Each structure stands twice: as C-alpha cells, then as structure tokens.
Structure 1
Amino acid sequence: MPELEQLHHFIGGEHVAPESGEYFESTNPATRQPLYRAARGNAADIDRAVAAAQSAFADPRWRDLSQTRRGHLLRRLGDLIGEHSEEFARMEVLDNGKLLREMRGQLATVPEYYYYYAGLADKIHGEVIPTSDRAVLNYTAREPLGVVGAITPWNSPLTLTTSKLAPALCAGNTVVVKPSEHTSRSALLLAELALAAGFPPGAVNVVTGFGSEAGQALVDHTGLAKISFTGSTATGARIASATASRFIGSTLELGGKSPNIVFDDANIANAAMGVVAGIFAAAGQTCIAGSRVFVHRAVYDELLERVVQRAESIRIGDPLDEETELGPLAFADQRDKVAGYVDLGRSEGARVITGGRPSDGGGLGGYFYEPTVLVDVNNDMRVVREEIFGPVAAVMPFDSEDDVVRLANDTEFGLAAGVWTTNLSRAHRMAARLDAGTVWVNTYRAMSPMSPREGFKASGAGVEHGTETIKEYTRLKSVWINTSEDAVADPFTMRS
C-alpha cells in the first residue's frame, strides 16, 4: 500500500508535528480502507495551542481590529469555504460516510453562517442605563471572553465546528478546536482558510487526537475562558462540572431522543416522508433524529406501511455515488452499538418489521446498517429511552393529544420535536406543551444560522445560532461615571 498522508496540528498559523511524535490512523467507513494518519495530540500540544491563542488574543492586530473589520474577515472566510466546497464535501464523505449529495447541500449553507456573523460583528454593543442621579452615567459593554475551546463531533464536522467558530470569532475571541478523532481533516483545512482570509496566526488553532487525551487536556486547561462542546450527554456533564469548578462558561449541545408526532388530520404522505427524513437521513447519526415516532391510532397502519415501504426501497451503498440514499455508519464501534441496541430491543419484546441487520453496502464491506423500524415498543424500553444514533425508528400508537404529550415528554432529553397536523390551533398548543428546544410543524430538520436553538433538560445548556449565541461568547461589563465636578460628599456626614 502507498504510504498514508500524515496530518499535523495547526497551531499559531503553522502545521506542527505532535510533541510525542505519535500519529493515529483514520479509515474510510464505507470501505474500511485507511485514509491518512493524524497527529495524536496530548496536553503538551494543547498547551502550545492555548498559548498561541492567548498571544493572538493580545495581539493588537486582533485586539484593536474594529468590529466591522472582523466582519470583513468572516465574510472572506465564508467566500473561501465556498470556493473549496467540493473539496470539503468529498473530504467529509471519506471521513464519516455521509452522502456526497447531502454534503454538497450542507456546503452550500456553511458560508451563510460566516456571512450572518459577519453582518452581526458590528452590532454587538451595550446600552446606556437610566439612573436616579442625572450626573452619573451608567453604560454597559460586551467584551470578548478570551480563548475558547471548541470540541466537535464526527457526524457533521464542518457545520458543527462552524456553529462555534463563527460566533466566537465574531465576538472577538480566539479559538482552539479539538475535532473528533474520526474526522480530523476538515477542521485543519478550515484553520488554513482562516489564516488565508486574514485572521492573525493563532486566532484559529486545531489539535487533533482522542477525547481522553487532547480533549480532556483542553477541558482542564486553565488558560481557557470557555468550552463549547457538541457530543454525548455523559461527556457534557463532565465538562459542565469541570468548567463550573473554574467559574468559566460552557455551551453544551448534547444528546436527544426526539419525538416525531403524526396526528390523524395530517397529510399522511408528507408525514411519512418527514418520519423517513427525521430518522434515516444521515443514517440516523444526528442528535435531532426523530427516533421516537408517535402515530395516532386512526392512521397508524397507513403511516407505518408508507414508512416501511420507503425504508425498504432506500438505496444503500457508496456515499460518493449520486444515486446512494444511505451511507455507512461512521466507524465500527458505532455500527456495533446500533446492532446491539436492535438486539436489545428484540429481547425487550420489540418486533423488527424491516431492517435489523448489518449490510455489506453493495459489496463495499464498510460499516453499513439497514434502515430499521421497530414496533410493539413502549416508553419503558431502553431502545425508546436511550439515544441509539443510527437508522432505527421506534413507532408507537397514541389515542389523544394529552396522551401523546405525556409520552413525548417522558424522556430525559429535550432537544427537538416534530408535529404533523393541519389543525392550526393544535400546532400552537403542541409547540407550547412539548419540552423541546426546537419544535417543527409539518417539516423536520429545518435549520438556519439566524434561528437560535437550545437543548432542554439533558440535551444541553446554552444557545447556538442566531443573535442569542453572542451572549455565550461575550462578557457583560457595567461602567459608572460621575460626570459632576462638584466635591464628593463626605459619606459620614449626615445631610438634613
């Protein structure tokens, strides 16, 4: 075999070899063939990256740059990402197995995040507060925090890195990114493009490696002002504890077990496609997957038949092929986890009516798993309560609005929910009653950089996207100025 490409960290505007000299191998999940070797980061690499970010934060080229000019740099970075969109798309397909046509769609929207925050950069400001003393001026200011640590997952690497990087830079911070060990490449190219766009060396740094090594070192580093993390709820809880003990902030986008609810008055054809999109798109490897499907008993059989029919016709195969509709899971352990949950479901009494087996992906031999539908399930089963992160839908009937609200909210998670109905009043009632940070009605997986999102309960803490997220990356300062030139009164002299 030809020698694999070797990827270094990107620190202080340069490609840097790991302090340990160690690398790890990344593989193509569709074929199991090795792709490249990436630097195995450790605490020494993280320390070097944080130092570079601290230096850039204090550098007058960044510190004194006007907010408008920061916006110009973000816009230029968005342009460069657009120019490299095909390279990014293919890079992520090879790294995590997502469909090429899906990644091309994502890459059409990723620059929009940078354009949005480019426009927002010089709209970050405080306000003047009225006081009881006209001689005293009180105003607030929003300041950047300092160095932000961003820990990102493997399912949508570029998009989820962007959702942290764009607002952090917009607010004037510098960043150290630790991407998933399964998807190192796109973060490194993104950092290169940030430098090419005009951001100073050290404004964007990337240390590759494992969560238990580089990721933990980043969480523990005392030079950080904030951690932004997307990943599992268990890891998020540990990060929340670590950051709270140091009195720094954290934004946590965590797991989900989202309900997708179909009422008897819904357009059933549309609802069936919404269910399919909600759980089988991206092979179910998304925190917002509509993995719990609740269907009104009056339309249960019809909806189920449509979903099963479409699931069985989904084309599984090479994610680089334009005709493929379902690619592989991202790595072997993830495929085994999904298979284990389906077996668990069977042992709990669930019935598999389609799928339920690994697939060879049309002969590619990668980590493929068939679109799977489980029935005869209930809210007490682990396959209904725990996040599977794969193409597995649990479908359950319900009888009334109150019934489905109780079932939908009976979960530790609260990330997203879908509602399918033509009753406008019901749509608003359901949106108000569901414990979810995002509620979609007659659609699923709609997203925009302009729309804030927050996870409820164990699905996270803090806001991503929109103007609201700027508060996550700034600190608020209140300034009081006495404009009077009169003598200051003796505080111990009583006035009549």
Structure 2
Amino acid sequence: MTQTPFSTDNLSRFYINGAWVTPSSDRGFPVLNPATEQKIGDIRLADVQDVNAAVAAATTAFESFSMTSKAERLQLLERFLEVCRRRAEDLARAISMEMGAPMTMSRDEQAASGIGHLESFIDALRDQPEREDLGNGDTLLREPIGVCGLITPWNWPINQIALKVVPALATGCCCVLKPSEHTPISAMIYAEMIDEAGYPKGVFNLIQGDGAVAGSAMSGHPDIQMMSFTGSTRAGAAITKNAADTVKRVTLELGGKSPNLVFADCDIDAQVAASVQECMFNTGQSCDAPTRLLVERSIYERALEVAKATAESMSVGDPAKEGDHLGPLFDKLQFDRVQSMIETGLAEGARLLTGGLGKPDGFETGWYVKPTIFADVRNDMRIAREEIFGPVLVVLPFEDEAEAIQIANDTPYGLAAYIQTGDPARAERVARRLKAGAVHINGGAVNFGSPFGGYKQSGNGREGGTHGLEDYQELKTLHHP
C-alpha cells in the first residue's frame, strides 16, 4: 500500500501502476469552489504520454488480474467496501467543496451512492455464473473484456465512478479512469481507497485531463478494448466516432429532457410538489431530472399554483452547511449557460412563473441560480427541447392521454420519464408507450442494482447490477465433441 498523498496542496499527481506519480504534462487547470469562487488548487491535464503510461500499466496488469477467480475478486470488493464505508465522510466533504452539493445531500446521496452501488455489484457478481451449460452440449463462459477507459462527469462524481470502476474490477478488467477535470478531489480519494483495499498495481489507474486531449487519446487507443462514458450527447458521439477505427465497445450514458406526465386523477398537491422538488434536486444538475412537467388541462392552473409555491419555498445556501437547501451550480460556465437559457425562454414567449435571471438576493458570490419555472411552454421551444442542467422547470398542458404520450416522446432523448396518476392500469399502459430507459411511477425512485440507461440519444448500454457487469464481459462458447 502506497502512502496517502491526498491534500488540496497536492492535486497534481496521477495514480498509475500502483503509485502516485508526477505527470508528463505540465499543463495546469485550476479547481474552483463554486460557492466561494476561490481556487482550491491546480491539477495537471494529461497529455498523450500520460495516457499511454496508464494504459500500459493496465495492459500489463490484465495478464494476471484477468485470471483471478471470482472468489478472489469478491474478497477484494468486500475489503474495498470496508474502506468506502470508513471514508464516506471524506468523499462527502470533497464533493461538496468541488461541485457545490450541500453537505447533507452530499453525504446522504452523493457519497452514499458509491457504497450502494458497490454492495449491489457484489451481490450481482456473487449470483452470476462464470460457466453456463447451454443445454445443447456447449458451455458459455463469461470473461473480462480487457482494458477499459472510463470517463465520468462532475454532477454525480462518485455515483458515476462507482458505476464504471466497480464492474470493471468485479469482472477482472483493468481500467484507466479520467474523471471530470472539475471534480478531481473525490476521484483522488477513490484511488486512495482502491489502493488501501489492496488491488494489484496497474489494475486501477487515475489520470486527470480534458476531453480534447486525454479523452480523445483514450477513445482512440488501440490497447483499450472498451470505453464507458457519461456526459453530453455531443461528447458521446465524438467518442464513438473516435473509437470506431479500433472497433472497441462503447457504452454511453448521455443527456436527457425527461417528461413528467401529471394526470388529473393523481394527488395534485402532493405529487406536483414532489415533482418540482425532484426537478430541482442537485440544483437541477441530474441527467434524468424531470424537467418537462406535462399537466392535464383540467388541473393545469391548480398545478401551476402548487409548482410556484413549492419553488418559492425552496432556499439556496452555503453547501458547506447542513440542511435541505440548493447549492450553487458547479461552475461559471454552467451559470452562464443557464442564464442564457432563461433569457431564451423569455424571448420565446414562455410565461415566467417564478425565479428568472440573476442570482438570489444575498448570494452575489458563488454560482447560485434562482429556482425557475416557465408556464405555457410549447414543446417546440428551445427550453423544452434542450438540456438546461440547472434548476429550471418548464410546464406544458395536454388534453388527453394520447397527446401526453405524443409530447413526452417528442424529444431526441430517452433517459427517463415520470408518471403521476391514481390509476394503476393507466400507469402501466402509458409506461409501455414511453420511449425511455426508466419510468418512475408516482415517485418511484432509482434502486441500486437496477439497470440505468437510455433510449435514443440518451445513450446505449446499461449501468448497475447484473446488466452493468455484462457490459464489461465477453462471451466465449466452448463447443465440445
């Protein structure tokens, strides 16, 4: 086990081949606290030589780690779980500092997701057979695909790292992780935890970098057999194109503009309020947030009253403090984009129900945004079609079930959808018509171990549980005489 290097004064190291090393690149990048706008420290952005070093370490390690037994890998995962539980508070504080999640939410949701996913992958691996009799005399083997390149986003940093790194380790793959350059600290702590758990050198490698250089070098690398990416649809398309020449497997979890269908037979007050809260959760920075609220015309005005009151009851606050409040957006780049989209909504003629341009009173410092709702939105407006990724909800009326389904599916995305109804038969009927990878019925939440992923331009492949393991495995058929 190597000596722990973590300090905000020492962010410029990469974890390669079981050691913390000085990068080849001298290109720096400042890491900022989004609540204070102050610099936390500087990272190095990897160059091609850094990527090559990490891939070489993983390639060498794969020769032996791919041959480990399931029992050996389960033992390592159980040891890793012990470390994760002990260091959960470190992760929560890092996430709060680097991307602005309020401490209570960062602890209970952000950091906790790493533990929940790890536990579910342990269960899935334990239950998955390594050999399977096909019933025709042949035998099916499940084997690790190889070296995996993993690129994760800033909005749910540990959630997405766990959904990629853990199945790689569980199946016997080796990997190179490139987290978002905006959230490097939680990833460094994660590397420390893997090191402490006792994984062989080279099995897991961490570099920091941007998409243009490090991401491109990874997706086109001939010695990487699989790329798993979470982020924008634009970047996902670029990775897929760059990976094509080496015919590697590519799994993508991309954007969303998830519809939330509210029917007149639901508990209007409770379910509309919960829908607004779900949209604003994580300051609206979730790819599957229900950002399009589709409301049956007969209850439209009442739903607007509830939505407005709910948003105006929300408070923003310092993410370093405990409590149920919204933190800032992660960066000035995102703040400017959200402000621009609010301006667009106003220009398109949508009715501003609450919120709007500018920062909340008393929050001149930090990338805080007012919880904002637009009413009387048409589905051809940009604010109804483009992912805003902030605390902005658009509300659209519909006449009947058929129109609700038509509006819901009229989007290039298909990550998630939501239904609020008191009729179980309607819920099942509508859910089958919605083109989305997950449908949340009356507040049903995502559970650890269930597959997560989308239709259409929301990506391909599934993360989580047994289905998440399968993306990291090759199938080999033994034909016996």
TM-score range, shorter chain: over 0.9
Separation in 1, partners of 2:469, 2:176:
18
Contact in 2 for aligned 1:229/1:236 (Cα 8 Å) = yes
Provide Cα deviations, 1:355-412, integer angstroms capped at 9, x if missing partner: 1123157346011110000112101111101111111111011110001000101111
Separation in 2, partners of 1:124, 1:376:
53
What SS does structure 2 have at the residue aligned with 1:359? coil
2:68 alignment counterpart = 65
2:81 alignment counterpart = 78
What SS does structure 2 have at the residue aligned with 1:453? coil
What SS does structure 1 have at the residue aligned with 2:396? strand
Alignment of 1:193-212 (within 5 A): 193-212=193-212
- The one-letter code sitting in structure 2 at the alignment partner of 1:94 is M
1:148 alignment counterpart = 148
- The one-letter code sitting in structure 2 at the alignment partner of 1:64 is M
Alignment of 1:164-313 (within 5 A): 164-313=164-313
Separation in 1, partners of 2:361, 2:221:
42
Provide Cα deviations, 1:208-251, integer angstroms capped at 9, x if missing partner: 02111111111111110100000000111121222233221111
Using the TM superposition, give the Cα deviation of residue 324 of structure 1 relative to its aligned residue in structure 2, in angstroms.
5.0
Separation in 2, partners of 1:10, 1:415:
33
What SS does structure 2 have at the residue aligned with 1:110? helix
Provide Cα deviations, 1:90-141, integer angstroms capped at 9, x if missing partner: 100110011111111122342122122223334242322344xxxxx42111
| Larger of the two Rg values belongs to structure | 1
What SS does structure 2 have at the residue aligned with 1:439? strand
- The one-letter code sitting in structure 2 at the alignment partner of 1:462 is G
Separation in 1, partners of 2:118, 2:361:
36
Separation in 2, partners of 1:361, 1:175:
45
Query: Taking structure 1 as reference, are residues 281 and 361 closer, same or farther at Cα in structure 2, changes over 3 Å only?
Result: farther
1:381 alignment counterpart = 381
What SS does structure 2 have at the residue aligned with 1:73? helix
Alignment of 1:338-349 (within 5 A): 338-349=338-349
Alignment of 1:327-476 (within 5 A): 327-359=327-359, 362-363=362-363, 365-443=365-443, 446-476=445-475
Query: Taking structure 1 as reference, are residues 97 and 361 closer, same or farther at Cα in structure 2, changes over 3 Å only?
Result: farther
Separation in 2, partners of 1:251, 1:103:
27
Query: Taking structure 1 as reference, are residues 4 and 300 closer, same or farther at Cα in structure 2, changes over 3 Å only?
Result: same
Query: Taking structure 1 as reference, are residues 6 and 459 closer, same or farther at Cα in structure 2, changes over 3 Å only?
Result: closer
Using the TM superposition, give the Cα deviation of residue 468 of structure 1 relative to its aligned residue in structure 2, in angstroms.
1.5
Separation in 1, partners of 2:459, 2:16:
29
Contact in 2 for aligned 1:358/1:369 (Cα 8 Å) = yes
Q: TM-score, normalised on structure 2?
A: 0.95
> Of 8, 16, 20, which aligns to 2:13?
8
2:29 alignment counterpart = 24
Contact in 1 for aligned 2:265/2:423 (Cα 8 Å) = yes
Separation in 2, partners of 1:404, 1:63:
49
Query: Taking structure 1 as reference, are residues 470 and 103 closer, same or farther at Cα in structure 2, changes over 3 Å only?
Result: same
2:51 alignment counterpart = 46
Separation in 1, partners of 2:82, 2:364:
35
Q: Which runs of 5+ in 1 are unaligned?
A: 132-136, 483-496
Contact in 2 for aligned 1:360/1:366 (Cα 8 Å) = no
Residues 1:113 and 2:112 are matched in the alignment: no
Separation in 2, partners of 1:294, 1:314:
21
Using the TM superposition, give the Cα deviation of residue 465 of structure 1 relative to its aligned residue in structure 2, in angstroms.
0.9
Contact in 1 for aligned 2:220/2:245 (Cα 8 Å) = no
Query: Taking structure 1 as reference, are residues 361 and 228 closer, same or farther at Cα in structure 2, changes over 3 Å only?
Result: farther
Provide Cα deviations, 1:256-293, integer angstroms capped at 9, x if missing partner: 00001110010112212321222111111110011110
What SS does structure 2 have at the residue aligned with 1:176? strand
2:4 alignment counterpart = none
Q: Which runs of 5+ in 2 are unaligned?
A: 1-7
**Please, which moves more after superposition, 223-232 or 461-470?**
461-470
- Residues matched between the structures, number: 473
Separation in 2, partners of 1:242, 1:296:
44
- The one-letter code sitting in structure 1 at the alignment partner of 2:105 is E
- The one-letter code sitting in structure 2 at the alignment partner of 1:258 is S
Contact in 2 for aligned 1:233/1:254 (Cα 8 Å) = yes
What SS does structure 1 have at the residue aligned with 2:73? helix
Contact in 1 for aligned 2:277/2:310 (Cα 8 Å) = no
What SS does structure 2 have at the residue aligned with 1:65? coil
Contact in 1 for aligned 2:144/2:171 (Cα 8 Å) = yes
Using the TM superposition, give the Cα deviation of residue 43 of structure 1 relative to its aligned residue in structure 2, in angstroms.
0.8
Separation in 1, partners of 2:336, 2:14:
30
Provide Cα deviations, 1:12-42, integer angstroms capped at 9, x if missing partner: 1111111023322100001100011112211
2:90 alignment counterpart = 87
Provide Cα deviations, 1:154-197, integer angstroms capped at 9, x if missing partner: 00101111011111111110110000010011111111211211
1:490 alignment counterpart = none
Query: Taking structure 1 as reference, are residues 124 and 95 closer, same or farther at Cα in structure 2, changes over 3 Å only?
Result: farther
Query: Taking structure 1 as reference, are residues 363 and 274 closer, same or farther at Cα in structure 2, changes over 3 Å only?
Result: closer
- The one-letter code sitting in structure 2 at the alignment partner of 1:260 is N
Separation in 2, partners of 1:432, 1:20:
50
Residues 1:36 and 2:41 are matched in the alignment: yes
